[in-house]
């Protein structure tokens, strides 16, 4: 396998990780809301909820400060090393445009990330996770 093929494979793996991150953030909120509706206790797992909240917090902060996602930066660098043409802009902007043929100004994505993050933060209060440390009465 050539070195270019190794870089291509690495770039594809980064893309897979990035996609799974996006799926975790989006599907995570859907599952939290459905779990509250259907009484699923696992959605109150504090580690899942904290991980989900931190994931969207990172996305929101990156958008506020106009910081390109490190996964996008890494994938772009790997694709360049593999001899591929990298895409411009953010991961979500690129793939939304590619999948939906929709292009929007950066502020639209910032607003969407912020609103989504606000709903995730609000879900922490609407649908309380269990405490991290079990109380003596619960043991």
Q: Which domain holds residue 75?
A: 3-138
* Percent of residues, the chain, with pLDDT higher than 90: 58
Domain count, the chain: 1
Q: So what's the pLDDT on residue 101?
A: 45
Average pLDDT of the segment spanning 90-114: 74
pLDDT at 53 over 60: yes
Q: What is the mean pLDDT of residues 129-134?
A: 88
Mean pLDDT, rounded, for 109-116 = 93
Nearest to 42 by CA among 54, 28, 26: 28
Task: Please report which confidence band the pLDDT of residue 88 belongs to, taking 50, 70 and 90 as the band edges.
Answer: low
pLDDT given at position 96 = 60
Residue 77 has what pLDDT?
Answer: 92
Q: What is the pTM of this model?
A: 0.82
Write out the DSSP string of 71-124: HHHHHHHHHHHTTPPPPPS-HHHHHHHHHH-----HHHHHHHHHHHHHHHHHHH
Calculate the average pLDDT of the chain.
87
Q: How would you classify residue 119: left for phi > 0, otherwise alpha for psi between -120 and 50, otherwise beta?
A: alpha
């Amino acid at each position: 396998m050539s070195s270019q093929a190794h870089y291509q494979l690495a770039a594809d793996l980064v893309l897979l990780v990035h996609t799974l991150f996006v799926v975790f953030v989006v599907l995570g909120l859907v599952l939290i809301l459905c779990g509250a509706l259907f009484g699923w206790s696992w959605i109150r797992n504090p580690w899942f909820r904290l991980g989900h909240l931190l994931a969207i917090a990172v996305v929101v902060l990156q958008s506020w400060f106009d910081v390109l996602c490190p996964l996008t930066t890494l994938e772009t660098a790997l694709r360049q090393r593999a001899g591929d043409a990298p895409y411009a802009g953010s991961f979500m902007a690129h793939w939304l445009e590619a999948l939906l043929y929709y292009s929007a100004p950066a502020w639209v994505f910032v607003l969407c990330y912020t609103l989504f993050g606000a709903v995730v933060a609000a879900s922490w209060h609407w649908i309380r996770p269990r405490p991290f440390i079990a109380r003596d009465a619960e043991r």
